[in-house]
Amino acid sequence: MGLLIGGTSTFGKDPGFFGEGYLPTLYVRTVNLIKWLEVNFYQEDMIIVKMDIEGAEHDVIKSMIKTGAHKLIDVLAWECHSKGGDCGFLKKTLEEFTDIKVLEEGKDYHGWKD
């Protein structure tokens, strides 16, 4: 959740989280996606969002719908992770309450390849 609200760090994390040995302190810069979209784009812009955020997509998409920021997005290429909630329900919500064209990784497009 720290990444969604402005950053996080590894400070104080269990070394086993990253493997054996040295645990570096990492600070991760982030952006509030909803505010960034609202400040930088207009509805007539073509916005394509690639979302693979390990379960956080549930909170982000719900917030986008609540604020109306979803109206700025034309295409959402995503991978949904069930550890964040019910992916079937979230996809149905996108289909019923938005005009976003939804592309699913592994079905509508191929994910990252080495």
Q: What is the pLDDT of residues 71-102, one digit of tens each?
A: 999 999 999 999 889 999 999 999 999 999 99
For the chain, where are the E strands, in sequence order?
8-9, 27-28, 48-51, 75-78, 101-104
Regarding whether 26 and 45 lie in a shared domain, the answer is: no
Q: Same domain, yes or no, for 38 and 85? A: yes
Residues 74 and 107 in one domain: yes
Higher pLDDT among residues 39 and 18, named by residue: 39
Q: What is the dihedral of CA 54, 60, 61, 63, to 10 degrees?
A: 160
Residue range(s) defining the domain that contains residue 97: 32-114
Query: Are residue 59 and residue 102 in the same domain, yes or no?
Result: yes
Answer yes or no: do 85 and 44 share one domain: yes
Total H helices, total E strands in the chain: 3, 5
Question: What pLDDT was estimated at residue 3?
Answer: 46
Within this chain, do residues 38 and 79 fall inside the same structural domain, yes or no? yes
Number of structural domains found in the chain: 2
- State the pLDDT at residue 1: 46
